[in-house]
Structure 1
Amino acid sequence: MKKYIIQSIRLTLVLMVLLCIVYPFLVAFAGKFSKGEGGGEKITKNGKVVGYVLLGQSFTKPEYFWGRPSAVGYNAAGSAGSNKGPSNPDYLKQVSDRVDTLLKYNPGIRKSDIPADMVTASGSGLDPNISEQGAIIQIKRIAAYRKLDEKKVAELVVENTQGPLFGLFGPSSVNVLKLNLALDELKK
Structure 2
Amino acid sequence: MIDENESGADTLRQETAEAAPEVAEHDGAAARIAELENQLAEAKQATLYAQADIQNVRRRAEKDAVDARAYAATSFARDILSVADNLSRGLAAIPADAREDERFKGLVTGLDATGRELDSVLSRHGITRIDAMGLPLDPNKHQAMMELASDEAPGTIVQEMQAGYMIKDRLLRPSLVGVAKKPD
Q: TM-score, normalised by structure 2?
A: 0.29
For the pair shown, which has the larger CA radius of gyration, 1 or 2?
Answer: 2
Q: Which structure shows the bigger proportion of residues in helix conformation?
A: 2
Which one has more relative contact order, counting CA pairs under 8 Å at least 6 apart? 1
